[in-house]
């Protein structure tokens, strides 16, 4: 089995050392990332409550709603299940159960919807969290990798493999990044980050990235893994910041940040990743290491990297279409990556009747 995965020249026993000062990665190490995932979710909730929500209010992203409803457990359960789009038969049964007319039930549900944070606020907070994380991780990653030889010479990723002891910095870099991507997957289910038209693409990206991280960790291909992480993070802060500026009605700033980020995006994800990292993993591996086409690892690694590039190309098409609005209409007509977001300036159709000119009205 090891020959099929690692090739004829490498055995699993090679991923260890008798020297107690040298550390080699193991699958069990990945359990640490689950702790970081829980920690990231908790920190995100606190950041949104005490930092990003007040910031959104200060910047005028939304205004607090003055709408309130009388608590009702049955109607609350109905709202959680159906929102404001309740089937007529269910609406009639609910009307009888709570002793209210159907119109009064509909009014309660609309008012309850108005009490929820607007979709634009959720998007602002989500992108604010992404900006905080990606800007921190990209700066920390580049700072750590700056004096590493494989940052400047990709052949160093493969020389001596698999006998490449892992430093403490790489260990924590991997665990933190894996923890963050696990938290993103949980957020899709728990924090409503799934309200996007590109839900499937985003989910596939997170799964592929996480699987790539785990696979490279187990096989000690962490040097090239750190390069992929560095390339991934560098453009993300700009995209998140541009969208925050757009929600805050700072269109000029959003456009400047957006177009600068496009350059970073193309340079990192469509240039360095395919023509630097993937080229190295396909050809330099065979020149300076024992990794080659006779190892399943070779094909899986490159297939996952190519899948990431394919996803990046699909997103680039959407980004370019948005950028073209500047030349056809004189300005961006929708928020950054609006084609993949379900939020709008007024939220849902039901909420638009309640939120007018950014201020809530009582029903």
Model pLDDT, residue 291: 86
Cβ atoms of residues 60 and 103 within 8 Å: no
Question: What predicted TM-score, i.e. pTM, was given to this entire model?
Answer: 0.79
Q: How many CB atoms lie within 10 A of CB 94?
A: 22
Most confident of 203-207, 265-269, 291-295: 265-269
Query: Is the confidence at residue 2, as pLDDT, over 60?
Result: no
> What is the average pLDDT across 266-279?
95
If you average pLDDT over every residue of the chain, what do you get? 84
CA dihedral in degrees (313, 314, 319, 325; nearest 10)? 120
For residue 144, how far is the Cα from the chain centroid? 22
Q: Model confidence over 167-184: pLDDT tens digits?
A: 999 999 999 999 999 999
pLDDT given at position 180: 96
pLDDT per position as a tens digit, 120-171:
888 899 999 999 999 999 999 999 999 999 999 999 999 999 999 999 999 9
């Amino acid at each position: 089995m090891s020959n099929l995965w690692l090739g004829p020249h490498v055995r699993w026993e090679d991923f260890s050392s008798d020297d107690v000062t040298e550390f080699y990665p193991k699958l069990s190490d990945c359990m640490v990332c689950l702790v970081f995932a829980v920690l990231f979710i908790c920190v995100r909730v606190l950041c949104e409550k005490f930092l990003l929500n007040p910031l959104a209010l200060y910047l005028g992203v939304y205004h607090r709603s003055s709408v309130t409803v009388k608590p009702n457990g049955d109607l609350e359960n109905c709202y959680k299940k159906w929102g404001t789009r309740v089937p007529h038969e269910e609406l009639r049964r609910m009307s009888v159960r709570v002793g209210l007319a159907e119109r009064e039930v509909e009014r309660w549900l609309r008012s309850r919807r108005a009490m929820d944070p607007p979709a634009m606020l959720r998007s602002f907070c989500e992108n604010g969290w992404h900006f905080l994380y990606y800007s921190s991780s990209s700066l920390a990653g580049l700072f750590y990798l700056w004096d590493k030889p494989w940052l400047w010479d990709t052949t160093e990723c493969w020389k001596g493999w698999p006998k490449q002891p892992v430093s403490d910095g790489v260990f924590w870099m991997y665990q933190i990044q894996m923890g963050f991507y696990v938290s993103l997957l949980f957020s899709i289910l728990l924090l409503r980050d799934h309200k996007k038209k590109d839900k499937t693409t985003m989910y596939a990206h997170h799964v592929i990235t996480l699987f790539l991280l785990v696979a490279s960790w187990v096989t000690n291909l962490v040097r090239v893994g750190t390069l992929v992480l560095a390339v991934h993070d560098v453009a993300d802060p700009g995209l998140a910041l541009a969208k925050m500026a757009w929600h805050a009605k700072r269109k000029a700033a959003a456009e400047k940040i957006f177009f600068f980020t496009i350059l970073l995006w193309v340079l990192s994800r469509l240039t360095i990743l395919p023509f630097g990292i993937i080229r190295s993993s396909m050809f330099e591996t065979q020149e300076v290491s024992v990794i080659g086409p006779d190892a399943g690892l070779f094909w899986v690694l490159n297939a996952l990297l190519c899948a990431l590039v394919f996803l990046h190309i699909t997103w680039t098409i959407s980004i370019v279409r948005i950028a073209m609005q500047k030349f056809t209409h004189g300005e961006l007509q929708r928020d950054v990556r609006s084609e993949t977001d379900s939020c709008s300036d007024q939220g849902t159709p039901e909420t638009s009747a309640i939120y007018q000119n950014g201020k809530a009205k009582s029903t």
